[in-house]
Amino acid sequence: MTIDELITLLTLERLEANLFRGFNQDIGSPNVFGGQVLGQAMAAASATVDDREMHSFHGYFLRAGDKASPIVYDVDLIRDGGSFTTRRVVAIQHGKAIFNASMSFQKTEEGLTHQCDMPEVPPPENLPSEQEFRIARADMLPEDQREFFVRDRPVEMRPVQPDELWSADSYPPEQMFWIRAVDAVHGPLALHQAILAYSSDFYLMGTALRPHGKQFVRGDMQSASLDHAMWFHRPFQIDDWLLYVMDSPTACGGRGLNFGKIYTRDGVLVASCAQEGLIRVLNKDG
C-alpha cells in the first residue's frame, strides 16, 4: 500500500451532513485493522469541525470489523463551546456498533509548557527497516497470510532494538521505533494526525508480551484491541522521522496495558497514546 492509497482509505464518502462511509484495507489479519477504524473515525469527526485542532480521542473497540463490508461512521455533534468542540463517533456494520469514540478539538492558545525528555537512541539511518524482519520471517505464517505480511506499508518503521524484534526471549516491557510516511504527505494537520493514529496501532499491544517471550505471529495467542486513546500536544509532520517510545506497566486478567510517547527527531513530544488489549494465551492441548 502506498501513502496515497492510505490517504484514499482515510478519505470518507459523505452520505449526509454527519454520516460517512469508509471502505476497508486487508492487511492479512482476520478482521478490520483497528488503526484503520481509528483513522477513519478521526476523519469523520474532523469533517464536522472548522478552525480547531483535535487534541484527544478515547475509543473502544466493541466488535470485530468485517473486512468485506464498508463501515458507516455516525458523528454526533455533542458540543461547540467557546474553546473546545466535542464529537462522538459510532462506527457501524450490519446495523451494530463495532467502535465508538469521544473526540475533542481545541482552539489554538498559548499556555504553560513542559515535556519529558526523549531517550537517546541511534538515528534511523543506522537501523534496519522492520519490513526486512517481516520478509525474513514470512515462513512462520500460514501461506494465505504471507502476501499481506511482506507487502510494503505506507508508514516505515525502524526498530531501535532490532535484535529483540520477534525474539522468543524475554525482555523488559519497552520498545522503540522510528516511524515516518514513506512519501510526502500534503494536507492539513488533521490528515497527519489520522495517519499517526493509524500507525500507532502497530506493535503497541505487543509491548505487553515482551516479558513473556510471546509473539502474536506464533499462533498461540488470542488478541484484540479493547480501547485506544491518543493526545496530540504539538503540530508535526508524519513524513518526517518520529520516535515512537512504548512501554507496558502491567498485564493481568488476560489484558495488557501499553503506553506510547511520540517525539520529533529533535526531541519535541508531539503525541501520547494508551491502549489496552486482549492477550489471552491459548491452550492448544485443550
Burial 190-206 (b: 16+ CB within 10 A, else e): bbbbbbbbbbbbbbbbb
Query: Are 263 and 243 in contact, with CB atoms under 8 Å apart?
Result: yes
Distance CA 242, CA 245 (A): 10
Residue 85 CB partners (closer than 8 Å, separation 6+):
49, 52, 79, 104, 105, 106
Record the cell numbers describing residue 78, joined without a space.
455533542
**How confident is the model at residue 142, as a pLDDT?**
60
Q: Which of 193, 199, 215, 225 is catalytic?
A: 225
Cell output for 242:
518520529
Indicate if 201 belongs to the active site: yes
pLDDT tens per residue across all 286 residues of the chain: 899 999 999 999 999 999 999 999 887 778 899 999 999 999 999 999 999 999 999 999 999 999 999 999 999 999 999 999 999 999 999 999 999 999 999 999 999 999 999 999 999 999 999 888 878 777 766 666 666 667 788 999 999 999 998 788 999 999 999 999 999 999 999 999 999 999 999 999 999 999 999 887 667 788 899 999 999 999 999 999 999 999 999 999 999 999 999 999 999 999 999 999 999 998 755 3
Nearest to 53, CA basis, from 149, 166, 164, 191: 191
- Domains of the chain, earliest start first: 3-107+126-281 (2.40.160.210)
Instruction: Answer yes or no: 285 catalytic.
Output: no
List C-alpha distances in Å: 49 to 61, 87, 229.
Answer: 24, 9, 20
228 within 8 A of 59, measured Cβ to Cβ: yes
Instruction: Examine the residue annotation and report whether 275 is marked as an active-site residue of this protein.
Output: yes
Given the residues 93, 193, 201, 247, the one annotated as active site: 201
The Cα 275–Cα 190 span in angstroms is: 21
